Each structure stands twice: as structure tokens, then as C-alpha cells.
Chains A and B, each alone.
Chain A
Amino acid sequence: MTLFPAVVEAHLAVLLIVVPLIAAPLCSLLRRESLAWIFAAAVSVVCLALAVAILGQVMANGPIAYEMGGWASPWGIEFRIDRLNAFVLVIVSAIAAVVMWYAHGSVRAEIGGDQQPHYYTLYLLCLTGLLGVTATGDAFNLFVFLEISSLSSYVLISLGAGRDRRALTAAFTYLVMGTIGATFYVIGIGLLYMVTGTLNMADLAVRLAPLADNTTVLAGFAFIMVGLSLKLALFPLHLWLPNAYTYAPSAVTAFLAATATKVAVYVLLRFLFTVFGTDYLFEELTLNGFLLPLAVIAMFIPSLVAIFQTNIKRMLAYSSVAQLGYMVLGLSFASITGVTATVIHLFNHAVTKGGLFMALGAVLLRTGGVSLQNMAGLGRQMPLTMAAFVVGGFSLIGVPTTVGFISKWYLILAALEDGRWPIAFLILASSLLAVIYIWRVVEVAYFQPALEGRKIEEAPLSYLIPTWLLIGASLYFGVDATYTLEVAGSAAAHLMGNGG
């Protein structure tokens, strides 16, 4: 099955990055906002098609290696796409395409003015960066794309200032923390380069193997870990995230929450298992003794904080930090089942959180706010939006027939496989916290009367369709997870070096 002509098929890997990269400057030249939107939306759909074709190619023929400029690695830069990053590429471009269709109405309502064409340029740049980070097989090239995605997301978040000036401080905090993270990453890469003389990830893996006792490697590892943890908002380095998600425009929050941290988790997986390798990290450094407690704390404390939030957007932001805890928990087992749980949760959480934040965007549009009081009686006034919210909430809790259940199931399996039944118990206990914070919203929305004299209509279709696309996906893949599990399972097996 080929979607594209042979020329395109041969260069799929690079085209996926270059198409949005070229589209961004073109988009910046468009003055009319609806023109910019149609252009960017079309580009995001093309990207999705390319990403799906890449996944198809990787599933059928094995990993793709693409040499930039025709220079063989490690002399040139190489894109290397196996099942894991092909899957992440599909997640990122699918979310980008869905949110882009949603963006039009929400950007017009929340940003307005002459900033709107710029919004689409920055969105395309952010997409370019995230896809580039995911596709590249070169550690320094990753940094360059990380900078593109970070810079554009700082500005995207600050665009929320049209509605609430606090978006500016939120973006600034994120800028400071994100820059420290990126700097730490590049220091780490520099240290590794110093002792190996290479920047190619596969080559790094080979050349690092005999250097297990080297202190420079150890320090490099520490810097990369801390840098990435800042980027993925691993507790307690998550402080930038709640405000950034709260004050950013709805479309930006939905996009970033569903993609940016997921890509950071992917990079973490790549460095832990491909570059450094399980032998070094988990046998020699006993890394899981460090990651496991952090992940468990990350599951609980942010969930507890989420319960006490009155701003629902902030509540979901804290819930994201908790969900990142589950992802790190999965990989800390360093087993195929554990990594499968992490990989599948990347997808599951992306569709769930993306859908939830889009539903909140509809609430913001109709009620003018996203605090708990705004939700009163919305169950009857905006039935479809609130139904989407409830289904998404169920998925956060892990109710069967939602994708959240699949993730938790695999996490618990991984814990039991490892003989750690207390951890399995803690996973269940932390889900109860999710029940509490989701229930607070449900109670207000369905069991409280609507505010006196407040007439609210259901959200427009341009909001409902994208929201339900993602929420529908979280139901569909919760009932029939065959395909996602096959991809995630074989990606994990491949990553752990057992072929697949």
C-alpha cells in the first residue's frame, strides 16, 4: 500500500519535517488570518498523511535510516525512525491536525487582533520542532529542533496575554526553566562528545559501552537527565507547567499538553534505552532505585494538588504532571511490559488530555471562564461538551472501555511482573485521587442548577467535532487496543533490544 509517488516515498522521513518547516515562513507572509489558517490546516493534514505512511513503512520493512545531504553517519546527520518514534510521529501529527481544525474558532475568540496569522506560523514551527526532535538520530540535531519547538511554544503561551496578562509571566517562567533544561542537555551532549567524538545516537551507544566507569560520561548522563526532566516536567521539576497550561490559549494548551511532554518522554526513552542502555543504567547505576520513588511521588502529590484547584484548566495541568509520573513509572521497570505501558500511555494520554483541554476551550468560549463556578449546570446546557469532558475524565481515572484503563492495566501488569505488588496497589490508589478531582467537576456540572438568568448554548461544531474526534479515539482504542498495543509492544521490544 503506497500513499505517495515513489519519489516522496523514498524521502518520507525528511519530508515530514521539511514540509512544515517550509510552510512556516510561507505562512508568515500571509496577511489574512483565515488564509493562514487554511494553509496551516492543510499542511498539518499533509504531515499526518506522511507520518502515517512512515509508520506503515516502518511496520512493514523495519527502521528507516535517512542520510541528510547524502553523508553517511556519523559524519553527517541521520534520521533514524524505528517503531517507537514512528508511533510518536503519528501521535504528534495527528494531534496537530485535529487541534489545527479546532484552532480557528478558539484563536479568533481568545487571541484576536493582528496576531492571528503569526499564531499559525508559530504553530507550524512548534510542529516542525517536535517532529524533528522525534525523527532525528543525532543528539545535537535533536537540540536544534528542541530549541525551535521551545522558542515557539514560549511565544504561543504568551499569546494568552490577550485574555489574561499572567500568560506573560507564565511564559517567562517556562522560558527560564526550559532554557536551563536545554542548556543542561547540551552540556551533557558536549561531555559525551568529548569522550566519544561522535554525536550520532547509534554511534554514541557503541562508543559509550566500554566507558562505563568514566566520570565524564556519568556527569554527561546527569546533565542530560536533569535537562530532559525539566522539559518533560517530571516532579519536582514541573513548576513551569501548571501556569503555562493555565494561561495559554485553549488550542495551545491542548496541543502542547498532548505533544510536547510526550516528545520529551520519548527522548528520555531514547537516551535511557538506546544511547546509554539498560546494562549501564539499571544494572550499574541502579537507576530504578531513583526513578521509581520519583514516579510514585509524581503520581500522588500533583493529583492531591489537583483536587484543591478551582481553576479546571490548572487542575488538568496538575493531572498531566501526575500522568507523566505513570509514564516514568512504566519505564523505570526497564522491562518490555513496563516500556509498553509507557509507550501506549503516550498515545492514550495524548488523545485524552487533548480532548479534555479542547472541551474546556468550549466552556471558556461560552461561559467566559474555566473555574469550577463556571461549570454549574453545564451538564444540561452544553450536554455534548460536558459528555466529552466526562468521558475524558473517565479515561484519566482508568475506567474500563477507555484508553486510560489499557494504560493502567499494563502498568499494573508490569509492576506485578516485577514482583512489586505494593506498586500495583499504589497505581490503583492514585486512580482514586483522579476520581475525586473529576467527580468535583461532574457534581457541579450535573447536580447543581445553572446560574440564574444565564443562557448558554452548546459549543459550535468547529469545537465539538475535533473534541469528539479525540475523545472518540480514547473510547475506540479503549475497546479495541489491538493495533496500538501491537505498535507499542513491538516498539518496546525493539527498544529493549529484543528485535521485533
Chain B
Amino acid sequence: MTEAVNTLLLLFMCVTALTIVRQHNLFAVVMLGSVFSLLSAGMFVLLDAVDVAFTEAAVGAGISTILMLGVLSLTNSRERITFSTPIFPIVLVMLAGSVLIFSALGMPEFGAADAPIHGHVADRYIEKSGAEVGLPNIVTSILASYRGFDTLGEVTVIFTAGIGVMVLLGLRRRTAQDGSVEELPLPGEGNMRHHSVLRVTAKLLIPFIMLFALYVQFHGDFGPGGGFQAGVIFAAAFILYGLVFGIKNAVAVVPEGVTRFLIAAGVLLYAGVGVASLLMGGNYLDYSVLAHEPTHGQHLGILLIEFGVGTTVAAVMITLFFSFARRTRKKT
């Protein structure tokens, strides 16, 4: 049964990918990209990687689609068609693809219990993480503790991306002072004012989205979830508010200075927990020394760093969306 579903999902993904390549309407490309992400999230669920599936659904299918649409609203939504056939790139892609197929010859059988990835490091994670870290969700134990330094790096990547977009869009603003490009006033509610259904639904949904984000944030130790997904979901609530009630109102709720501070604060909280463990006599990011009992320390440390992750991710996503949205051209 699983095999049939797997095959079907893979087939759908292939069809989606091919359609994306052949499609010239960029709006459709973005939507199909979202579909592709959702399909791969389904794939991850079948592979029992629910945490990854959750992230893929929230980030790939959700927020990145919104951000891409934000970009399209600034540019053109039709690809400029060139009539030359890109022979060289096609050859390269075929080559890379055939190397991948070639690589499959040496892989362990799909789902084999004795595959190396199920034996070497995984054994300890499965058998001992309960005693060493004390969390029911092994994935969280790995991401936040065993490989917590990677996650710190990833939060820094998000931070870099946030600063990067602020800088790049700021470059345009500087030309605005020269007088060549006018800085647009923040878009208000516009004609959204008349969409009562949307407004009421949004008002109803937003509190629940935020509550769900908090649940995902703090329940990540026990079930699928964690700072990344929670941050994205929390940001989604703000973006929805901004879309329906106007960017101007949304910025009034969280001023730019606040998001800018929060972007940095999340990384600092995460890295600061590491410094605290240094000062308390452990190695960097060794949460065990943070409390009297190692597992309590682990729990506290993970709670704090996940909160740091959530803060930076949410603040960066909000900043990214608002940075794009505030430059939206007036449709005439």
C-alpha cells in the first residue's frame, strides 16, 4: 500500500516539476512550486519524518509561496520568452541526473533495516536520548542538543538572509533620495475594505493561528514542531493581517524597530545560552550544566534556544514580507 502511495506521490512530483519547467506564467510557477512542496511534505510523512514534513509544509508550501508572490507583485508575472534552446544547460542537467541514477546503484535497499543510517549514530539517539536529553521527541533532541550547533548556524543563516534583504531593498530606497524613484507611502487597506467575508474570516482565524504557533513552539519537545515551524506560523498570522487590513495597520502593530530588534534578539538568546553553559563550566551549548540535574538543564536549554529560533524566524519572515509589500506598485 505504502509503495503505491509513494509511487503516486513521486509521479505527481515529476509531473509538477515538468510543468514548472514548461510554464511561462510565473504566477502559475509559484503556485506549482507550492504544490510540489506540499507533495514532498506528504512524502516525508510516509517516510515517518513528520518534523521535516511539518517544516516543508510551513516553509516550502506556505511562507515561501507568499514571499515569491510578493516578489511577483514587484516584477512581471510573465517570463520573457527566448527562442534559443538551452542545449548546454540541458546536457549539464542530464549529466548531473545520470550521476544521481548511477549513485543509486550502490545505495542500500529502500527501507532496509540494516542500512548504515539506521545503525551507526542512530542507535545511540534512539536508545539513550531519553535518558541523556529527556525528551520524548528524538528529532528535537538531535536538532536542539546533539546537533544544536548546526541549528545555531541555521538561525544565523536566517538572520543573514533577513539583514541581506533589508540591505538590498534599502539600496532602492537610497536612490529614492536622489529623486529617481519615489518612495511609496505604505499601502493602506485599499479595496480590501469592501471584502467583509475576508475581513471577518481573517479576524476569526488570526487568534487561532497565533495560538497554534505557540502550541507548536512549546510542544516541540513532545510532538512534531519547534521554533522554525512556530516562527513561520506566527509570521503567517501577521502577514494575513497585513494582507487584509493593510500594511500600514500591520506596521502599526509591530513597528520596524521592534522587528529589527527581535531579529537580533533571537540569535543572541540562542548564542547566549551557549555562553551561559560555558560560564557554568560546560562545553559550548552543553545544556546539562544549566540546572542541578542534567535532564532539567537540557530541558531548560532546549526551551530557551527554541524560543530564540522562533523569535528570529518570525521576525525575519515578517520583515521580508513587509519589505516587499511596502514597495508594491499601485495597480492602475
List the interface of chain A (C-beta within 8 A of B): 7, 11, 14, 18, 21-22, 24-26, 28-29, 66-71, 74-77, 112-115, 118, 121-122, 125, 128, 132, 138, 140-141, 144-145, 147-148, 151-152, 154-155, 158-159, 161-162, 184, 187, 191, 193-198, 207, 214-220, 222-223
* A69 & B286 in contact (Cβ 8 Å cutoff): yes
Q: Which residues of B contact A66 (CB under 8 A)?
A: 283-284
> Does A216 lie within 8 Å of B153, measured CB to CB?
no
Q: How far is the CA of A132 from the CA of B154 in the complex (A)?
A: 12
Interface pair B274/A161, CB less than 8 Å apart: no
- Which residue in chain B gives the minimum CB-CB distance to A215? B106
Find A148's partner among B148, B160, B261, B271 (CB 8 Å cutoff).
B160
For B115, list chain A residues within 8 Å (CB).
194, 197
14 contacting pairs across A/B (C-beta < 8 A) = A14-B278, A18-B274, A22-B267, A22-B275, A25-B268, A70-B288, A138-B150, A148-B160, A158-B167, A184-B96, A194-B108, A197-B116, A215-B105, A219-B103
| B153 close to A28 (CB less than 8 A) | no
Known: A25-B267, A218-B106. 9 other contacts (CB 8 A): A24-B159, A25-B263, A158-B168, A159-B171, A191-B103, A194-B115, A196-B116, A196-B120, A198-B121
Nearest 3 pairs of A and B residues by beta carbon: A219-B103, A197-B120, A144-B153
Inter-subunit contact B121/A74 (CB<8 Å) = yes
Q: Indicate if B163 sits at the interface (CB-CB under 8 A).
A: yes
Q: Are B275 and A18 in contact (CB under 8 A)?
A: yes
Question: B203: which A residues are within 8 A, CB to CB?
Answer: none
Q: A144-B150, A148-B156 are in contact. Are A194 and B284 (CB under 8 A)?
A: no
A14 and B145 form a contact (CB under 8 A): no
Q: What 0/1 readout, one digit per residue, does chain B (78-104) give for beta carbons within 8 Å of chain A?
A: 000000000000000000100110111
Q: How many angstroms between the C-alpha atoms of A14 and B148 in the bound complex?
A: 13
Q: Are B163 and A118 neighbours in the complex by a CB distance under 8 Å?
A: yes
**A76-B147, A151-B164, A195-B106 given as contacts; is B116 within 8 A of A125 (CB)?**
no
Complex contact B164–A69 (CB within 8 A): no
**Distance A217 CA – B153 CA, assembled complex (angstroms):** 27
B164:A115 contact, CB within 8 angstroms: no
A216 adjacent to B103 (CB under 8 Å): yes
Q: Which residue of A lies closest to B264 (CB)?
A: A25
Is the pair A197, B283 in contact by a Cβ cutoff of 8 Å? Answer: no
In the bound complex, residues from chain A placing their C-beta under 8 Å from that of B267 are 21-22, 24-25
The reply to whether the CB of B122 lies closer than 8 angstroms to some CB of chain A is yes
CA distance A184 to B93 in the complex (A): 12
Give residues 162-187 of B contacting A (CB, 8 Å): 163-164, 166-168, 170-171, 174
Q: What's the minimum C-beta distance from A194 to chain B, rounded to whole angstroms?
A: 6
Cα A194 to Cα B106 in complex, Å, equals: 10
B264 & A29 in contact (Cβ 8 Å cutoff) = yes
- B residues in contact with A122, CB < 8 Å: 160, 163-164, 167
Closest A residue to B283 by beta carbon equals: A70
- Contact bitstring B198-242, A, C-beta under 8 A = 1, else 0: 000000000000000000000000000000000000000000000
B271: chain A residues at CB < 8 Å are 18, 21-22, 25
Residues of A near B106 (CB, < 8 A) are 195, 214-219
The answer to whether A71 and B107 touch across the interface, beta carbons within 8 angstroms, is no
Q: Least Cβ distance of A473 to chain B in Å?
A: 30
Whether a CB of chain A sits under 8 angstroms from the CB of B329 is no
CB within 8 A of B170: which of A28, A71, A115, A128?
Answer: A115
Given contacts A70-B283, A220-B103, contact A118 B167 (CB under 8 A): yes
Residues on B with C-beta less than 8 A from A69 are: 145-146, 148-149, 283-287
Assess whether A216 is in contact with B105, with CB atoms less than 8 Å apart: yes
What's the Cα separation between A223 and B152 when bound, in Å?
26
Chain B neighbourhood of A121, CB < 8 A: 163
A70 close to B282 (CB less than 8 A): yes
Tell me the bound Cα distance from A223 to B117 in angstroms: 20
B154: nearest chain-A partner, CB-CB: A144
User: In which size bucket is the chain B interface?
Assistant: 35 or more
Asked if B124 is at the interface of the complex by the 8 Å CB criterion, the answer is yes
Determine if B171 and A68 form an interchain contact, defined as CB atoms under 8 angstroms apart.
no
> In angstroms, how far is the closest chain B Cβ from the Cβ of A160?
10
Pair A216/B163 contact, Cβ less than 8 Å = no
Residue B118 lies at the interface, judged by CB distance under 8 Å to chain A: yes
Whether the Cβ atoms of B168 and A155 lie closer than 8 Å is: yes
> By the criterion CB–CB under 8 Å, are A198 and B120 in contact?
yes
User: Shortest beta-carbon distance, B245 to chain A, in Å?
Assistant: 29
A29 proximity list for chain B (CB < 8 A): 260-261, 264
Asked if B161 lies at the interface with its beta carbon under 8 angstroms from chain A, I say yes
Q: Once the chains are docked, how many angstroms separate the CA of A222 from the CA of B100?
A: 10
**A118/B166 contact (C-beta < 8 A), A69-B285, A75-B121, A193-B117 known:** yes
CB distance from B149 to the nearest CB of A (A): 4
Assess the A26–B268 pair: CB atoms within 8 A: yes
Q: B163 to chain A: which residues have CB within 8 Å? A: 28, 118, 121-122, 125, 155
Near A by CB (< 8 A), chain B positions 273-302 give: 274-275, 278, 282-288
Name, among B156, B174, B288, the residue most crowded by chain A CB atoms within 10 Å (CB to CB): B156
B157 at the interface (CB under 8 A from A): yes
B99 and A11 contact, CB distance less than 8 A: no
Smallest Cβ-Cβ distance to B265: which chain A residue: A25
Q: Which of A22, A71, A112, A217 touches B146 (beta carbons < 8 Å)?
A: A71
A343 to B167, CA, bound (A): 36
A68 to B282, CA, bound (A): 10
Shortest Cβ distance from B139 into chain A, in angstroms? Answer: 15
Residue of A nearest to B284 (CB): A14
Instruction: Report the bound CA distance from A478 to B275 in whole Å.
Output: 41
Q: A26-B264, A122-B164, A144-B150 are contacts. A11–B156 as well, Cβ < 8 Å?
A: no
Q: Would you call A71 and B145 a contact (CB within 8 A)? A: yes
**A112 closest partner in B (C-beta):** B174
CB-CB under 8 A from A155, the residues of chain B are: 160, 163-164, 167-168
Q: Is the CB of B107 within 8 A of A216?
A: yes
CB pair A159 B167 closer than 8 Å? yes
List residues of chain A with CB within 8 A of the CB of B100: 187, 219
B278/A161 in contact, CB under 8 A: no
Residues on A with beta carbons closer than 8 Å to the beta carbon of B108:
194-195
- How long is the Cα–Cα vector from A161 to B170 in the complex, in angstroms? 11
| Cα of A68 to Cα of B286 in the assembled complex, Å | 7
B119 in the interface, Cβ–Cβ < 8 Å?
Answer: yes
Q: Which of B122, B275, B284, B288 contacts A197 (CB 8 A)?
A: B122
Which B residues are CB-close (under 8 A) to A24? 156, 159, 267
Q: How far is the CA of A361 from the CA of B10 in the complex (A)?
A: 53
Quote the shortest CB–CB distance from A216 to chain B (angstroms).
Answer: 4
B96: which A residues are within 8 A, CB to CB? Answer: 184
Say whether, besides A122-B163, A219-B99, A195 and B116 are in contact (CB < 8 Å): yes
B-side contacts of A11, CB under 8 Å: 278, 283-284
Compute how far the CA of A155 lies from the CA of B160 in the bound complex, rounded to whole angstroms: 9
Q: Is B125 in the interface zone, CB < 8 Å from A?
A: yes
Give the residues in chain B near A141, CB-CB below 8 Å. Answer: 147, 149-150, 153
Q: Give bound CA distance, A75 to B121, whole Å.
A: 6
Contact indicator B264/A162 (Cβ below 8 Å): no
Q: Which residues of chain B are within 8 angstroms of A138 by Cβ–Cβ distance?
A: 150
Q: Please tell me which one of the listed residues A68, A151, A159 contacts residue B148 in the complex, with CB atoms under 8 A apart.
A: A68
Contacts of B117 in A (CB 8 A): 193-194, 197
Distance in angstroms between the alpha carbons of A81 and B154 in the assembled complex: 22
Residues of B within 8 A of A159 (CB): 167, 171
From B99, B116, B272, B283, contact of A222 by CB (8 A)? B99
**Are the CB atoms of A114 and B170 closer together than 8 Å?**
yes
From B124, B159, B160, name the one whose CB has the most chain A CB atoms within 10 angstroms.
B160
